[in-house]
Structure 1
Amino acid sequence: MYKKITYLIVCLFAIASINQSAKALPTLSVQDTILRYVPGQRYIFKVSDSSGAYATAIEYIPGDSKSKLILTSPHGGNLKPEFIRTRTKDYVATQDEKDYGDTESFSAVSDSKTLELTMELADEIKRLTGLRPHVVLNHLHRSKLDANRGMSLAAQGDRNAELAWKAFHQYIDAARVLVLKNGEGLLLDIHGNAHRPQRTEVGLLLKAKDFLSDNLEQYADQSSVKALVKGGKATMTDLVKGKYALGTLLSDEQILAVPGRSIPNPTDKTVFPDGKYFNGGYNTARHGSKFGGLLSAIQLEFNSDVRMDDRKRPEYVKHIAKAIHQFMDKYYN
């Protein structure tokens, strides 16, 4: 009986997953995208070599049809298939898609537990709001693929890594289509930082010097939340240090986050002597509204206390999900 039950579970899991082989995903029209992707279905893009070895690279789980939220995890994977070259800091990147920001800085360090954090957040947001967000995950370790850089530095010429990079961004593009059926939307790119003292960082593509200005509105066009400001939903001041700024809402939930109402300058060295702050990267620029459209994007850099302890993380997830829900309720309803 046990064997029969186990076999049934395996079969159901196989049915519930749709595998994409290691080739470029098709470019779909809006209507085709809507028809192709089923809410809650797992779409898995696998990479492989000539020997038949393969690895799960990218996973997309479409959200509920009325969801306006996308969660992405580009650096949380831990798979290191030997048939994908290991990225090196000595690689000379081309300036591909340089308008999208960082195409040069190298790191092969994973953002540990951010994949788990992203999946748990999706579950909690569903429980809290009734709507499951769209989720796109990179299962490859950052030493094999950096899904938050332009393709040249991200994949360093490896064919499988390039295909996985394309799949990651094509799945986000598909999620964008489904979200924008509802008029507008938000992408949260989930990362981890090791800055000390610990804090969570909210990246809107504003630079360190911008936070010193008395006129934050002048930076709306350079931000990843341009659509919210230009659409009259919020001002840049609201989104940086207002009552409903995401950093404020997270801090209200006992997760110190910057910028926000209590600490509007995330590089204030009287508070954070290291002066470090991640303001957003390739994904935030490419998929946000800086270059147009109605999908805004925010990079969330969670400190280690929030994400690393498997026993404590579920409680943090509840607080993070509540802050995200309040932000969405304010600006996307």
Structure 2
Amino acid sequence: MWLFFICILYFLLKPIGTIYGHNSYTEYQLGNMNIIISVPHGGAMEPEDIPDRDAGCWNANSSSCIFSHDCPPGTVQDFQKCKVATNQDRHVIEVGQTLAKEIRKITKGFFPHVVINHLQRFKMDANREKEEATFGIPQAEEAWEDYMGFMRSAKLHMTEGLIVDIHGQAHPEQWIELGYTISKASLNSGIFSASGSSIQYLANQLGNVTFESLLRGHRSLGKFIEDQNKMYICVPSPTNPSPKNGNYYSGGYITKTFGSQYSGTVDAIQIELPQWVRDIKEIPNFSKALAKAIMNFWQTNYCIHSGHQLLGC
């Protein structure tokens, strides 16, 4: 009988496998818990049959950009109004992979779903709407659809959960920016609500916990990261409740689309990492600290309200 239960436990906790999208441009590592790690901007592949994205076409009549390599009549390529982001977030794939392994160690066998884009960002941007992300190139569109399909598939494995969207930034503050789709201006003014955030579902489940405590107080991810190492300064957090005059990313397409800002029971947080924590020598230490912080945030907030019914609690 004990052997039977051991076999069942092994089946539940063992890795399910890895699925690749077309041409292996995207990757989905199937997990067995209610956490998804998304890494859209760390890719290094540069296929020649996908032209580089640089700038779209400005339509003065509609005051809008058309993202195409061939500008339609009446539009002109504009590197100011229609410029696109193309910089690779270096070493974020290594952070995401190491983070997943560290979470598995902490939970003694549970591991998150991991979705990775392997294309260079100037070929396809997996954190933008389809037109801007692909410029209408079929191979890029295919990769974008694969990435979004993997995210949807991962969400189908869970009734409730959390998406951690890993990015890199080079802001001079060198702090870790946590995006909940709450704007910099709202954080600075203190005027915000759970209904406008990508963790709206979690906030609604914790009726006796203020949203501010989840966002930047004693139950926030920023607090749990800083608890691991005071050098890992976060915004928002109890020590840095708002960016003030500093740089800050509030969350992009993935956080807005797949989080609970508009609907659903899966939340999302965008994590923007400064260059120094993505240094190859720092990645092992930081990933271990981030894993502990995420699991502390998970146990404190998700496992409590679910009665430890979520996978990974």
* TM-score bin, normalised by smaller chain: 0.7 to 0.9
Structure 1 position 227 matched with structure 2 position 201:
yes
The aligned residue for residue 161 of structure 1 is 140
Corresponding residue number in structure 2 for 1:301: 272
Aligned residue among 111, 131, 134 for 1:152: 131
Which of the numbers 51, 62, 66 marks the counterpart of 2:30? 62
Percent identity, aligned pairs only, is 34
Query: How far off is 1:212 after superposition?
Result: 3.1
Aligned residue for 1:332, secondary structure, equals: helix
For structure 1, the 5+ residue unaligned runs are: 1-37, 48-55, 96-103, 270-274
Conserved? CA contact 2:35–2:161, under 8 Å: yes
Superposed CA offset, 1:196-246 (max 9, x none): 121010000111121133453xx2111111101122264320122211211
SS at match of 1:179: coil
- Given that 2:222 and 2:234 are in contact with CA atoms closer than 8 Å, whether structure 1 keeps it comes out as yes
2:202–2:302: 8 Å Cα contact kept in structure 1? Answer: no
2:211 matches 1:213 = no
Distance 1:291 1:202 in 2: 19
Q: 2:21 aligns with which of 45, 48, 55?
A: 45
Mapped to 1, the partners of 2:227 and 2:84 lie a distance apart of 34
Equivalent in the alignment of 1:116: 94
Checking the alignment, whether the CA contact within 8 Å between 2:38 and 2:165 is kept in structure 1 is: yes
- Letter of the aligned partner of 1:230 in structure 2? N
Could you tell me how far apart the structure 1 residues matched to 2:22 and 2:57 are? 25
Tell me the alpha carbon deviations over residues 262-300 of structure 1, each in whole angstroms, 9 at most, x when there is no partner.
Answer: 01012x23xxxxx21000000000000011110000000
Structure 1 match to 2:254: 283
Q: TM-score of the superposition, structure 2-length normalised?
A: 0.81
2:241 maps to: 264
Match of 1:125 in 2: 103
Contact 1:91 1:153 in 2 (8 A): no
**What is the aligned residue count?**
266
Range moving further from structure 2, 236-245 or 256-265 = 236-245
**Aligned to 2:87, what secondary structure does the other structure show?**
coil
> Residue in 2 aligned with 1:75?
41
Pair 1:322 & 2:296 matched:
no
CA distance in 2, matches of 1:209, 1:58: 35
- The TM-score normalised by the length of structure 1 is 0.77
Aligned partners of 1:236 and 1:165: how far apart in 2?
Answer: 33
Are the aligned partners of 2:57 and 2:66 in contact in 1 as well (CA < 8 Å)? no
When the two chains are superposed, the root-mean-square deviation of aligned CA atoms in Å is: 1.7
Matched, 1:239 2:218: no
